[in-house]
Protein backbone atom coordinates (compact mmCIF):
# COMPACT_ATOMS: atom_id res chain seq x y z
CA UNK A 1 0.00 0.00 0.00
CA UNK A 2 3.04 2.29 0.21
CA UNK A 3 3.32 2.36 -3.57
CA UNK A 4 -0.44 2.92 -3.79
CA UNK A 5 -0.09 5.85 -1.39
CA UNK A 6 2.61 7.45 -3.58
CA UNK A 7 0.52 7.16 -6.72
CA UNK A 8 -2.78 8.13 -5.10
CA UNK A 9 -1.18 11.25 -3.60
CA UNK A 10 0.15 12.24 -7.02
CA UNK A 11 -3.17 11.63 -8.76
CA UNK A 12 -5.07 13.41 -5.98
CA UNK A 13 -2.73 16.38 -6.26
CA UNK A 14 -3.12 16.55 -10.05
CA UNK A 15 -6.70 17.80 -9.90
CA UNK A 16 -8.11 14.72 -11.67
CA UNK A 17 -11.89 14.44 -11.15
CA UNK A 18 -12.96 11.69 -8.72
CA UNK A 19 -9.50 10.14 -8.26
CA UNK A 20 -11.07 7.82 -5.68
CA UNK A 21 -13.55 6.32 -8.16
CA UNK A 22 -12.75 2.65 -8.64
CA UNK A 23 -14.31 -0.12 -10.66
CA UNK A 24 -15.23 -2.89 -8.28
CA UNK A 25 -15.82 -6.32 -9.76
CA UNK A 26 -17.49 -9.13 -7.89
CA UNK A 27 -18.42 -12.68 -8.78
CA UNK A 28 -22.13 -13.45 -9.10
CA UNK A 29 -23.49 -16.69 -7.63
CA UNK A 30 -23.76 -17.88 -11.26
CA UNK A 31 -20.00 -17.42 -11.65
CA UNK A 32 -20.39 -14.40 -13.95
CA UNK A 33 -18.25 -11.32 -13.25
CA UNK A 34 -19.95 -7.99 -12.59
CA UNK A 35 -18.33 -4.57 -12.31
CA UNK A 36 -19.53 -1.15 -11.22
CA UNK A 37 -17.98 2.09 -9.94
CA UNK A 38 -17.80 2.86 -6.23
CA UNK A 39 -15.87 5.49 -4.31
CA UNK A 40 -12.90 4.55 -2.17
CA UNK A 41 -13.35 6.19 1.21
CA UNK A 42 -9.94 5.84 2.73
CA UNK A 43 -7.04 3.42 2.82
CA UNK A 44 -4.28 2.36 5.18
CA UNK A 45 -1.61 -0.30 5.29
CA UNK A 46 -4.20 -3.08 5.65
CA UNK A 47 -6.27 -2.12 2.62
CA UNK A 48 -8.98 0.21 1.34
CA UNK A 49 -12.59 0.94 2.23
CA UNK A 50 -15.78 1.56 0.31
CA UNK A 51 -19.42 1.90 1.40
CA UNK A 52 -22.63 0.55 0.00
CA UNK A 53 -25.89 -1.22 0.77
CA UNK A 54 -25.22 -4.73 2.09
CA UNK A 55 -28.45 -5.89 0.41
CA UNK A 56 -27.43 -4.57 -3.00
CA UNK A 57 -26.51 -6.90 -5.80
CA UNK A 58 -22.81 -6.53 -4.98
CA UNK A 59 -23.53 -7.01 -1.26
CA UNK A 60 -25.31 -10.27 -1.94
CA UNK A 61 -22.55 -11.41 -4.27
CA UNK A 62 -19.96 -10.66 -1.56
CA UNK A 63 -21.94 -12.72 0.98
CA UNK A 64 -21.31 -15.75 -1.23
CA UNK A 65 -17.86 -14.92 -2.65
CA UNK A 66 -16.03 -12.29 -0.57
CA UNK A 67 -13.32 -11.55 -3.12
CA UNK A 68 -13.04 -8.61 -5.45
CA UNK A 69 -11.00 -7.02 -8.19
CA UNK A 70 -10.61 -3.25 -8.14
CA UNK A 71 -9.39 -0.99 -10.95
CA UNK A 72 -8.47 2.68 -10.60
CA UNK A 73 -8.68 4.03 -14.18
CA UNK A 74 -6.52 7.13 -13.99
CA UNK A 75 -6.51 7.66 -17.75
CA UNK A 76 -5.44 11.30 -17.76
CA UNK A 77 -2.33 10.36 -15.80
CA UNK A 78 -1.68 7.35 -18.07
CA UNK A 79 -1.86 5.15 -14.99
CA UNK A 80 -3.89 2.23 -13.78
CA UNK A 81 -3.83 0.35 -10.50
CA UNK A 82 -5.43 -3.06 -10.13
CA UNK A 83 -6.02 -4.60 -6.73
CA UNK A 84 -7.21 -8.13 -6.04
CA UNK A 85 -8.13 -9.42 -2.61
CA UNK A 86 -10.66 -10.54 -0.05
CA UNK A 87 -13.19 -8.29 1.65
CA UNK A 88 -14.68 -8.10 5.11
CA UNK A 89 -17.44 -5.89 6.45
CA UNK A 90 -16.42 -2.93 8.59
CA UNK A 91 -17.65 -2.91 12.18
CA UNK A 92 -20.64 -0.88 13.42
CA UNK A 93 -18.42 1.80 14.91
CA UNK A 94 -16.60 2.49 11.63
CA UNK A 95 -19.88 2.37 9.70
CA UNK A 96 -21.57 4.80 12.10
CA UNK A 97 -18.63 7.16 11.99
CA UNK A 98 -18.64 7.33 8.20
CA UNK A 99 -22.44 7.50 7.92
CA UNK A 100 -22.52 10.47 10.33
CA UNK A 101 -20.01 12.32 8.12
CA UNK A 102 -22.26 12.13 5.04
CA UNK A 103 -24.53 14.99 3.97
CA UNK A 104 -28.04 14.65 5.35
CA UNK A 105 -29.52 14.17 1.89
CA UNK A 106 -27.25 11.18 1.23
CA UNK A 107 -28.16 9.72 4.62
CA UNK A 108 -31.85 9.92 3.70
CA UNK A 109 -31.00 8.54 0.26
CA UNK A 110 -29.63 5.42 1.93
CA UNK A 111 -33.04 4.87 3.56
CA UNK A 112 -34.87 5.58 0.29
CA UNK A 113 -32.71 3.00 -1.48
CA UNK A 114 -33.32 0.31 1.09
CA UNK A 115 -33.67 -2.18 -1.76
CA UNK A 116 -30.66 -0.96 -3.76
CA UNK A 117 -30.42 -2.77 -7.12
CA UNK A 118 -34.11 -3.87 -7.10
CA UNK A 119 -36.62 -2.55 -9.66
CA UNK A 120 -38.89 0.37 -8.68
CA UNK A 121 -42.15 1.48 -10.33
CA UNK A 122 -40.82 4.92 -11.16
CA UNK A 123 -38.93 8.01 -10.07
CA UNK A 124 -42.06 9.30 -8.30
CA UNK A 125 -42.00 6.40 -5.87
CA UNK A 126 -38.42 7.29 -4.87
CA UNK A 127 -39.16 11.03 -4.61
CA UNK A 128 -42.21 10.40 -2.44
CA UNK A 129 -40.18 8.20 -0.11
CA UNK A 130 -37.50 10.88 0.08
CA UNK A 131 -40.06 13.58 0.97
CA UNK A 132 -41.76 11.41 3.55
CA UNK A 133 -38.50 10.43 5.25
CA UNK A 134 -37.22 14.03 5.20
CA UNK A 135 -40.31 15.08 7.13
CA UNK A 136 -39.96 12.11 9.51
CA UNK A 137 -36.49 13.29 10.58
CA UNK A 138 -36.67 17.01 11.32
CA UNK A 139 -33.49 19.00 10.73
CA UNK A 140 -32.37 18.81 14.36
CA UNK A 141 -32.74 15.03 14.56
CA UNK A 142 -29.81 12.85 13.47
CA UNK A 143 -30.63 10.39 10.70
CA UNK A 144 -29.76 6.91 11.98
CA UNK A 145 -27.67 4.55 9.88
CA UNK A 146 -29.74 1.73 8.39
CA UNK A 147 -28.42 -1.64 9.59
CA UNK A 148 -28.12 -2.72 5.96
CA UNK A 149 -25.82 0.17 5.02
CA UNK A 150 -22.09 -0.02 5.64
CA UNK A 151 -18.65 -0.59 4.30
CA UNK A 152 -16.11 -3.19 3.38
CA UNK A 153 -12.37 -3.34 3.71
CA UNK A 154 -10.51 -4.83 0.75
CA UNK A 155 -7.40 -6.73 1.86
CA UNK A 156 -5.06 -6.80 -1.13
CA UNK A 157 -3.22 -10.00 -1.96
CA UNK A 158 -2.10 -8.80 -5.38
CA UNK A 159 -1.63 -5.31 -6.85
CA UNK A 160 -0.52 -4.15 -10.25
CA UNK A 161 0.78 -0.70 -11.09
CA UNK A 162 0.61 0.22 -14.76
CA UNK A 163 2.11 3.25 -16.38
CA UNK A 164 1.55 4.02 -20.04
CA UNK A 165 4.47 4.66 -22.39
CA UNK A 166 4.74 5.51 -26.10
CA UNK A 167 4.63 2.62 -28.55
CA UNK A 168 2.64 0.58 -26.01
CA UNK A 169 5.91 -0.05 -24.17
CA UNK A 170 4.18 0.28 -20.83
CA UNK A 171 5.67 -0.32 -17.40
CA UNK A 172 3.86 -2.92 -15.32
CA UNK A 173 4.81 -3.98 -11.82
CA UNK A 174 2.97 -6.76 -10.03
CA UNK A 175 3.13 -7.09 -6.26
CA UNK A 176 2.06 -10.44 -4.83
CA UNK A 177 1.64 -11.10 -1.11
CA UNK A 178 3.62 -14.26 -0.45
CA UNK A 179 3.25 -14.46 3.33
CA UNK A 180 1.58 -12.68 6.20
CA UNK A 181 -1.01 -9.93 6.22
CA UNK A 182 -1.11 -7.06 3.69
CA UNK A 183 0.11 -4.58 6.32
CA UNK A 184 3.28 -6.36 7.37
CA UNK A 185 3.63 -9.34 5.04
CA UNK A 186 6.20 -10.07 2.38
CA UNK A 187 5.46 -8.78 -1.10
CA UNK A 188 7.18 -10.15 -4.19
CA UNK A 189 7.56 -7.63 -7.03
CA UNK A 190 7.95 -8.54 -10.69
CA UNK A 191 8.00 -6.48 -13.87
CA UNK A 192 5.51 -7.74 -16.43
CA UNK A 193 5.70 -7.54 -20.17
CA UNK A 194 3.40 -4.78 -21.46
Ligand X SMILES: Cc1cc2nc3c(=O)[nH]c(=O)nc-3n(C[C@H](O)[C@H](O)[C@H](O)COP(=O)(O)O)c2cc1C
Best CA proximity match to 162, nearest among 153, 175, 143 = 175
Does 49 interact with ligand X (rule: CB under 6 A)?
A: no
Least Å from the CB of residue 138 to ligand X? 27
Does 18 interact with ligand X (rule: CB under 6 A)?
A: yes
Contacts of ligand X in 164-193 (CB under 6 A): none
**Whether residue 168 lies in the annotated active site:** yes
The answer to whether 107 is annotated as binding is no
Does 36 interact with ligand PLP (rule: CB under 6 A)?
A: no
Contacts of ligand X in 59-118 (CB under 6 A): 116-117
Q: Is the dihedral of CA 178, 68, 44, 21 positive or negative?
A: positive
User: Helix (H, G, I), strand (E, B), or coil: what is residue 171?
Assistant: strand
Q: Give CA 79 to chain center in angstroms.
A: 18
Nearest-angstrom CA–CA distance, 190 and 173: 6
Nearest-angstrom CA–CA distance, 92 and 47: 18
CB-wise, 41 or 67, nearer to ligand PLP?
A: 41
State the catalytic residues: 168
Binding site for ligand X (CB under 6 A): 18, 21, 36-39, 50-52, 56-58, 116-117
Amino acid sequence: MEQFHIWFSQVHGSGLAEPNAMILSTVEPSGAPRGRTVLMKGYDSSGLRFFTNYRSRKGRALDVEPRVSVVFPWHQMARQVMIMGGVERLDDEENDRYFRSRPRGSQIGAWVSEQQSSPVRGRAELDERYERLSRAWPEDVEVPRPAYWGGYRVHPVEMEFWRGSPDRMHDRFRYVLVGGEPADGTWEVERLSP
